[in-house]
Amino acid sequence: ELITAINPLRNQGLSDIALTSNGFLLNGERAHRLRKAGLNRISLSLDGTTADSVARMAGIKHGELHLAQVLAAIGHARSAGFDPAKGDLKLNAVIEKGKNDNQLLPLAELARNEGIELRLIEYMDVGNRNGWQPEAVLTSAEMIAVINKQWTLEPIKRKSATTAKRWKYTDSKGYLATIASISEPFCGDCNRLRVTANGIAYTCLFASQNSGLDLRDYLQANSCSGDLKEAIGKLWGNRSDRYSEQREQQLKSGSRKAPAEMALLGG
């Protein structure tokens, strides 16, 4: 319903509608409905290829059902018209050292066999609930080194304002990407503004929970659209978010303010 409602905004400049999901509820019917509603791209999250690894990363007792559902969701999305070759369907995996780093090659192999771009995400300190420690971070360079030993990779120049660094397999079996916000920050050309479900705008994924701008006053029936544009412009123009570049300094000094949770901000 939400995608159907925002789809007409394409006439006002909206160019792309994307969704990230754990895939657990993405059955065939829902995949087709999403595509029909106007969804362009979908990224499915899968942190392992075994029931044990999936359970460990998801914090659940049994991963068999979850794994089976996500693998099935890949097929449902493809059948609904989300074409991996066009970038309509991708696979996301967060890699944590000592927890699921043994899944690097199996995940890469799965993605290669499915013809899907795998995006390996460094374990991030978003929010304060995941017990993040820097020692648990497997860097992008380390992940690429492991995969490159098995299948040779060739780097692709990163486009400005994108979050991912990409490689292509030299044997022509697709692409691989990493999101390295810990080891290789990209604050300098970030262009992402996040708006939560309750109308709070944040200028950074690592923003403190009290730093957002409440947009609800600008969205009332008697509000002027010019006021909303001015408020967002001021928020964006005055932003100074560089946490990924300042992480070590802030953590050492204890100056980091309570961060907003990932579940609130999205990816």
Question: In the chain, what are the domain boundaries?
Answer: 2-184, 191-265
pTM above 0.85, yes or no: yes
pLDDT digits (tens, 9 = 90+) for 174-214: 999 999 999 999 999 999 999 998 999 999 999 988 889 99
**261 touches 129 (CB < 8 A):** yes
What phi and psi, each to the nearest 5 degrees, are found at residue 60?
-120, 165
Identify the DSSP state of 161.
T
How are the residues of the chain apportioned to helix, strand and coil, as percentages rounded to the nearest 5? 40, 20, 40
φ/ψ bin of 64: left (φ > 0), alpha (ψ from -120 to 50), beta (otherwise): alpha
pLDDT digits (tens, 9 = 90+) for 140-176: 999 999 999 999 999 999 988 899 999 999 999 999 9
Q: Which CATH superfamily is domain 2-184 in?
A: Aldolase class I (3.20.20.70)
